[in-house]
């Protein structure tokens, strides 16, 4: 392994190459030897997590909110508290930065989509397609979530403490999805990599068209497993390693 230069150190110091929570991801990380030093996202900002500000979005459009968040990051703010989200769509989208975000309320569709790095906590619920295409970071939802939760995420940890809708983790390609309650039909549909932990029940056709290298664990009851599925067990035990079961127990205990 090569030596870290200053820019590489910076990205490591910012935590962009460390795992969040207790999850283990199957995301492929770049090798220092293979990649010539480009370890930070373009347009990322050095932020101070102790520099905090409130952002009341009651009268703002989604694009205004996301633009304003970038401006705040450019000013060095590392902790943004969003107030009055009022279930608006497409809030906190495209954040490619280490950042702490507290959302006091609920989000609509596509909340926290296309993010790479931030740690987001949402006190309310989220609508469809929360954290779609997330690359890294954490998103924790205190209440319920709509369908296509964590669609096509590549990395990071996505946690919903309540129930979620159908097609959770559709096309998931990495990362970890944890559901504290139940999940609907077709969860893990076309899931290719990553992990999904469901502490409650799962609807029908769990893992439809899922490929290998996926693992999904369901605590209580699963209505039925999909036909075209390779690595899945109704008991949630045949998932590859005891480590995951230990992590699962810890997650349940802490939720």
Q: Where are the beta strands (DSSP E) in the chain?
A: 48-56, 77-83, 100-104, 116-122, 136-141, 157-160, 173-179, 193-198, 214-218
Query: Using CB under 8 A as the criterion, what x/- string covers residues 172-201 for binding other proteins?
Result: ----------x-xxx---------------
CB 184 within 8 A of CB 168: yes
| Residue among 26, 32, 81, 87 that touches other proteins (CB under 8 A) | 87
By C-beta, is 146 or 156 nearer to other proteins?
Answer: 146
Three-state DSSP class for residue 74: helix
Based on the shown chain and the rule CB under 8 A, indicate whether residue 165 belongs to the binding site for other proteins.
yes
Closest CA to 145 of 100, 180, 174: 180
Number of neighbours of residue 227 by Cβ within 10 angstroms: 9
Closer to other proteins at the Cβ: 73 or 178?
Answer: 178
144 binds other proteins (CB under 8 A): yes
Collect all residues with Cβ–Cβ distance below 8 Å to 177 and sequence separation of at least 6.
149, 150, 153, 158, 159, 168, 169, 194, 195, 196, 197
The 47-86 site mask, x for binding other proteins (CB under 8 A), equals ---------------------------------------x
Please provide the distance, in angstroms rounded to a whole number, between the alpha carbons at the two ends of the chain.
38
Binding mask 97-126 for other proteins (x = CB under 8 A): --------xx-xx-------------xxx-
146 binds other proteins (CB under 8 A): yes
- Binding region for other proteins (CB under 8 A) out of 14-22, 35-43, 66-74, 138-146: 138-146
**Residue 27, exposed/middle/buried by CB under 10 A (0-12, 13-18, 19+)?**
middle
Q: How far is the CB of 104 from other proteins (least distance, A)?
A: 8
161 lies in the binding site for other proteins (CB under 8 A): no
- Residues making contact with other proteins (CB under 8 A): 86-89, 105-106, 108-109, 123-125, 127-128, 143-147, 162-167, 182, 184-186, 203-204
């Amino acid at each position: 392994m090569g030596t870290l230069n200053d820019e590489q150190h910076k990205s490591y110091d910012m935590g962009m190459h460390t795992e969040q929570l207790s999850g283990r991801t199957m995301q492929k990380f770049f090798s220092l030897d293979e990649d010539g030093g480009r370890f930070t996202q373009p347009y990322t900002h050095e932020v101070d997590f102790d520099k905090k500000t409130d952002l009341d979005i009651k009268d703002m459009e989604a694009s205004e909110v996301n633009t304003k968040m970038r401006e705040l990051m450019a000013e060095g703010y590392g902790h943004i508290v969003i107030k009055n989200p009022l279930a608006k769509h497409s809030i906190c989208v495209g954040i490619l930065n280490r950042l702490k975000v507290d959302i006091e309320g609920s989000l609509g569709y596509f909340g926290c989509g296309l993010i790479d790095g931030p740690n987001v906590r949402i006190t309310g619920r989220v609508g469809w397609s929360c954290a779609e295409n997330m690359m890294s970071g954490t998103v924790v939802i205190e209440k319920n979530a709509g369908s296509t939760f964590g669609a096509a995420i590549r990395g990071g940890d996505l946690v919903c403490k309540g129930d979620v809708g159908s097609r959770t983790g559709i096309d998931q390609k990495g990362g970890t999805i944890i559901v504290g309650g139940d999940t609907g039909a077709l969860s893990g549909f076309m899931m290719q990599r990553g992990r999904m932990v469901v502490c409650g029940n799962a609807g029908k056709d769990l893992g439809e068209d899922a490929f290998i290298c996926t693992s999904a664990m369901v605590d209580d009851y699963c209505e039925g497993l999909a036909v075209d599925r390779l690595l899945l067990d109704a008991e949630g035990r045949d998932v590859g390693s005891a480590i995951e079961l230990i992590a699962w127990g810890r997650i349940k205990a802490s939720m």
